[in-house]
Structure 1
């Protein structure tokens, strides 16, 4: 199957409407990682001359260097080079859920036109690194993946607007949050598919220069915090953890500043626009940040019982139970897919000791 992928494009206007070459960002990323232009060019598949000419062209365009040569230490990005790189990564990270949802809709429309109306599996889910892997592994199974908050996903399931709803359950903490999700599910009507487990915590700048150790430091240290939007599952988890730790969000500088994905929070910190954020470990590692684990959670999916016998659902289960998908999950820092594809009842899921809402 052919898949359309939507990516943001950059336009810098100099009166002639010249478009910034997107390959420049790949080169800037490689210079940032390799610290040598020769190795950066090789990593991008460019000749050294081509890479050098590209940099010269855009340095003339902006009127300032994009890289700085260091005697005996290779090259590093200039302040403008760093700003361009982090801006590109912030834009991509912030728009990722919307673009993926839109591309899913368009791909399905194209598939219907070319191949007819095949059965489609509709998944509404909270955005995350493991969920984002699904479209790449579905093969011939048409997947309509729409990102939304856990509450909205479960509401969509209740009104039959989706087949599967993805949400996450904290392990051993924030049980009030689990109780809220439990109220939305009916044991006689629903089943739970185990998906992955992941670690959430504080993302801090490399080396943790402020010495942040836990949630209390967010209110006690003079730092800049970057938050998630109020309706996200990760924000709900953070709010619950702060309440358990008796930490007032009013005392956290920047608590009202929000981004819309884990990677967008990490990119914001990597760009030195904030000191600390809350999210998954995979995002922190992606942007070279340090990570302080605070919670583990199970990412699960709910469906109506009658879906269990649907052929397209069986295909979906076989894919997420397969070694290829589990291997991809294992490559994500802080993620585990050991129980991926295990089907259980609502009561079995919520009575499990690690997420039990029944214990005192």
Structure 2
């Protein structure tokens, strides 16, 4: 008899025994949202997470998703592209993957809304997003997030200047992000909480596509204040005032978790090299990097 220790990390075989299914069925359940994380080249599972998920879904050996090779009528593989808004964490991940000799993944500049649209069309393999701001499914298919960092986002101003309060934004040159950008929700929420109208604050704002472009516009003097990450503020030597901290990572279709390219990205994110590089970036916490997470909108 196999004895399982509560809250320990389980292997695929142990999960199969726990759920009374064949080990191959565990991989099918992964595609349906079974919580898991990569440990080296293997999947590992929290016992309580597995039991809770099974209780909610009634998952047993009835899964219908196939796990064999893709046939002639199968959905084509997504191209080796990642859609993201220039976040430093994604930049680090792709650079370290290249340095390890992994297949090169290209970067497509896109905010979260654009990234989801590209992911829906299978025009990219993964899309950058922060937790809680995207749907749990895409066209009926479960989405998973490869966690990278917890990051600080907020307002930036030129070096040597004080970051202005929220109440002053409507009278300043503001450079912000489009409503489709996940980070925009934090600024709008902070304005609303302060009793200010987000639309009034953005009435004359310049809307740019990435944290990097916002930070560069402020650094060049084209704006008085901007909305960006602490990472980009530090990179360009800007003053920074935090608004929120958010988990950030790469969205993938759950059915693509077994794709070797996704597996390698998880392994790079879990590496000591990524943890060290992320630790040196202000506003980043890389705890749990490489974990597979399922987030509700």
So what's the TM-score if we normalise by structure 1? 0.53
Higher helix share: 1
Cα–Cα, structure 1 residues 241 and 161, in superposed 2: closer, same or farther, change >3 Å?
same
Distance 2:149 2:263 in 1: 18
- Larger radius of gyration between Structure 1 and Structure 2: 1
Higher strand share: 2
Distance 2:113 2:274 in 1: 26
* Structure 1: 4+ residue segments shifted above 4 A: 183-188
TM-superposed deviation, 1:293: 0.7
Equivalent residue number for residue 26 of structure 2: none
Preserved contact between residue 149 and residue 287 of structure 2 (Cα < 8 Å): yes
Secondary structure of 1:154's aligned partner: helix
Distance 2:128 2:96 in 1: 17
Equivalent residue number for residue 44 of structure 2: none
Preserved contact between residue 126 and residue 233 of structure 1 (Cα < 8 Å): no
Equivalent residue number for residue 198 of structure 1: 151
Distance 1:304 1:199 in 2: 26
| Residues 274-328 of structure 1 deviation map (CA, whole Å, 9 limit, x = unaligned) | 2211111122222222111111111122222232223332222111110112211
Quick check: 1:248 aligned with 2:200? no
TM-superposed deviation, 1:250: 5.0
Q: CA RMSD in A?
A: 2.8
Q: For 1:82-161, what aligned pairs fall within 5 Å after superposition?
A: 121-138=80-97, 139-161=101-123
Preserved contact between residue 126 and residue 251 of structure 2 (Cα < 8 Å): yes
TM-superposed deviation, 1:230: 4.3
Cα–Cα, structure 1 residues 270 and 155, in superposed 2: closer, same or farther, change >3 Å?
closer
So what's the TM-score if we normalise by structure 2? 0.63
Q: For 1:38-117, what aligned pairs fall within 5 Å after superposition?
A: none
Q: How many residues align?
A: 217
Cα–Cα, structure 1 residues 234 and 253, in superposed 2: closer, same or farther, change >3 Å?
closer
Distance 1:253 1:341 in 2: 36
In structure 1, stretches of 5+ residues that fail to align are: 1-118, 170-177, 351-356
Which structure would you say has the larger RCO, counting Cα contacts within 8 Å and 6 or more residues apart? 2
Quick check: 1:342 aligned with 2:295? no
Equivalent residue number for residue 167 of structure 1: 129
